[in-house]
Amino acid sequence: MLDVNGTREAHLQAFQQAPALFSAPGRVNIIGEHTDYAEGFVMPAAIDFETIAAISPRTDGQVVIASQNFNETVTHSLQQLPEKARHHWSDYPLGVLWALREKGIDVPAFSLTLKGDVPLGAGLSSSASVEVATISALLSLTGKEIPLPEMAQLCRRAENVYVGASTGIMDQFIACCGKENHALLLDCRSLDYKLAPIPANIAIVISNTMVKHSHAGGEYNTRRAEVEEGTRILHAHRPEIKFLRDATVDDLAKWGSEMPPDVLKRTRHVITEDDRTVAAAAALEAGDLKTLGRLMYEAHASYRDDFEGSCPEADILVDLASKEAGVIGARLTGGGFGGCTVNLVEEAHATTFIENLRKGYHAATGISADIYRCHASDGVHRIAE
């Protein structure tokens, strides 16, 4: 847990004003990988790692943003803000300010202090956490309120257009709309969502393979192209198929023979992953953890065999996890080709699970994994005085 009072005091000392404080979480995707750009379904959960944003108004026309993590402060005139990102941590809060101004919301001069404990480089969406904490803080100075889904869209626009990172809506959406002890089933087409309960005695354990393959970017682009080719082939037979969200396993049975082998596999992964994600939410609602676990393992197998987006290290982690007591399910999460696995574990077994997973992974690979024990948490909120 972050030291909220420490951030409050640091802001007060630096800027001689007591701040309002806001918190936004990181996230992990429980199931639903590479379905977002097919306008399909994803099911993330907010986690209890967070970014705190402390804010107070200024009277000198300046924007001053301090990062406690980087021990650095940037200052700009409100009338001369950077027009584009400069590959610096401040791009994310400045991008949110840009997005609000582009929408016609005038934000007055301010001092902003940021502090986060979302692990960097672990695929737990530290950037969206910063963006969502920042937009809530900035809006508090304007007297305006924006619905949470619209806040998520503005933060995504900040990251896509200002920062220049191509991301979907999931990260910002769950940081805005997450709820304690719940996952969130998000329809990436309509942005309709519903919450699915995760029992309070279930820990979310995230294990970092510590691997990031150098070819991941190129492989990702290849996968996207293959998914689009599969969509085009199905669209030729059923014009209403604009994205794989609109396709079914029956469509694949009828026309999959027209696809090159790799295209068929990628297309099958996306179509079946959509089905698994909706079924996983239904399993949570019904309290059917056995079915949820089976769907997670099936999702990993599809990611590994059809999407071919796993790696040996992730496969080892999932295999090790599956043999431990109290484990409901495990799979590779995130963009693939390295990164983290997500494990749902009964709280009573979580400590032993983590110890055994760490030892087993090191014995198998020689790699010491970073392992994070989390719980499903609330989305963005103001921190009480």
pLDDT, tens digit, for every residue of 171-225? 999 999 999 999 999 999 999 999 999 999 999 999 999 987 655 567 888 998 9
Work out the average pLDDT over 295-322. Answer: 97
Percent of the chain with pLDDT over 90: 89
- Give me the pLDDT at residue 167, please: 80
- Give me the pLDDT at residue 55, please: 98
Q: Indicate whether 120 pLDDT > 60.
A: yes
- Told to judge if 171 belongs to the known catalytic residues of this protein, a careful annotator would answer yes
Q: In sequence order, which residues have a C-beta less than 8 Å from that of residue 319 and are 6 or more positions away? A: none
pLDDT tens digit sequence for 20-39: 999 999 999 999 999 998 99
- Give me the pLDDT at residue 216, please: 55
Percent of the chain with pLDDT over 70: 98
Q: Indicate whether 134 pLDDT > 80.
A: yes
Q: Indicate whether 3 pLDDT > 60.
A: yes
Catalytic residue among 36, 91, 171, 274: 171
Q: Using a cut of 0.75, tell me whether the model's pTM lies above it.
A: yes
- Give me the pLDDT at residue 141, please: 97
Mean pLDDT of the chain: 95
Q: Indicate whether 125 pLDDT > 90.
A: no
- Give me the pLDDT at residue 379, please: 97
C-alpha pair distances (Å), 155 with each of 47, 166, 170, 199, 243: 19, 12, 11, 30, 24
Q: Indicate whether 2 pLDDT > 90.
A: no
Least confident of 221-225, 344-348, 376-380: 221-225
Q: Indicate whether 307 pLDDT > 90.
A: yes
Torsion angle defined by CA atoms of residues 136, 137, 143 and 146, in that order, rounded to the nearest 10 degrees = -10
Beta bridge partners of 342: 206, 331
Per-residue three-class SS string for 295-336: HHHHHHHHHHHCCCCCCHHHHHHHHHHHCCCCEEEEEEECCC
Give me the domains of the chain, ranges plus CATH numbers: 4-197+378-383 (3.30.230.10)
